Chain A
């Protein structure tokens, strides 16, 4: 028993650690680790990962909320979209063939790798769109000079549409879909990057929670796997977030991209063999 548990802990701590350092979250790494290295079925890996994503989101978002980085109103509005997508995704995960899940996972890995190379600069807007203004979604953030600047939110319908998609990917694949959420908020809705990251982190818990409840109620969560994985990923994510401020992320980014592409190839190959 000890060897299996230690192995699961090691994989989970590693996935949580890399997930926190890369900013992509532990789910992206723990699902392939459980499938490829622990030889567990894809659906068991997805169920365990969803539970661990709830735990890491709760752990990581505490500091962001307390320090004011999270835009709570944006999170609550967009959660309506992500929860809708997550319920649909988690339901579909129980009925679609495994090779489709593997193929989608491979594509998501490539999207995450592409996201890692995107330019990351804030482009703040002073006039929000009518929906965002009505919901008071704008906020304030410290700029690079330490000055408090106001921002407004635009392209709300596009952002909400992308959030439905992010939620669906989360429920289908057991990941937080943080890369897609941050891209929607930062690139399309013009929310500052740091606020987008903190808000995405906060939303991930509710999104994954919706998916996790479907999996738990359906009996698709293998408790003996999910318990050590949830604990391990959370420990790894906490360790990663402690090291993050001192790490040379630019240097690490290339190795993350290589890992993501390798995972995409392996999952893509599994999908092709499963057709």
Chain B
């Protein structure tokens, strides 16, 4: 029994060590590409707008908050600000995707203690969005 449990633990560890770096690197590269593209669009399409935006941020005025669907549609239309916001959202997917991957792995291996622990972290990350919306 102890031997079977030990083997399961080693298998979980091996899978996580192989796939976690791939997952982290892939999402990181994807977000970097989108962010660089957004900055490129900003530099070529609206260079003076960036300066104005930066000065207003220094004065404490931020861009009004938009919904995620608004950002997506504006990003598809080539709006530099929305493209960069999309890049930042992809970046914040890194921890979310990593925890979700571990959750599914523990579920597959029926390691219910860690299913509960990773589910708590996942719920916490999603709660972050709700907390930001109300706060």
Interface residues of B in 33-47 (CB under 8 A from A): 35-36, 38-39, 42-43, 47
Task: Check B128–A210 contact: CB distance below 8 A.
Answer: yes
A48: shortest Cβ distance to chain B, in Å? 10
Residue A213 interfacial (CB < 8 Å) = yes
Task: Check B92–A51 contact: CB distance below 8 A.
Answer: yes
Residue A5 interfacial (CB < 8 Å) = yes
Query: How distant is the Cα of A8 from the Cα of B16 in the complex, in angstroms?
Result: 36
Interface residues on B, range: 35 or more
Query: How distant is the Cα of A223 from the Cα of B83 in the complex, in angstroms?
Result: 10
Task: Check B21–A65 contact: CB distance below 8 A.
Answer: yes
Q: Which residues of B contact A44 (CB under 8 A)?
A: 57, 60, 62
Task: Check A218–B20 contact: CB distance below 8 A.
Answer: no
Query: How distant is the Cα of A215 from the Cα of B135 in the complex, in angstroms?
Result: 9
B12: shortest Cβ distance to chain A, in Å? 9
- Other-chain residue from A62, A79, A91, A234 in contact with B24 (beta carbon distance below 8 A): A62
Q: Which residues of A contact B16 (CB under 8 A)?
A: 65, 72
- Other-chain residue from B57, B65, B88, B124 in contact with A84 (beta carbon distance below 8 A): B124
Quick one: given A1-B48, A5-B43, A87-B128, are A227 and B64 in contact (CB under 8 Å)? no
- Other-chain residue from B88, B99, B132, B135 in contact with A206 (beta carbon distance below 8 A): B99
Of A86, A215, A227, most B-chain CB atoms within 10 Å: A227
Of A2, A54, A223, most B-chain CB atoms within 10 Å: A223
B31: shortest Cβ distance to chain A, in Å? 8
A215: shortest Cβ distance to chain B, in Å? 7
Residue B131 interfacial (CB < 8 Å) = yes
Task: Check B50–A230 contact: CB distance below 8 A.
Answer: no
Query: How distant is the Cα of A4 from the Cα of B57 in the complex, in angstroms?
Result: 13
Residue A192 interfacial (CB < 8 Å) = no
- In the complex, besides A54-B95, A218-B65, 11 extra interface pairs with C-beta distance below 8 angstroms are A1-B48, A1-B51, A72-B16, A91-B131, A208-B95, A210-B125, A213-B132, A220-B132, A221-B88, A222-B63, A224-B57
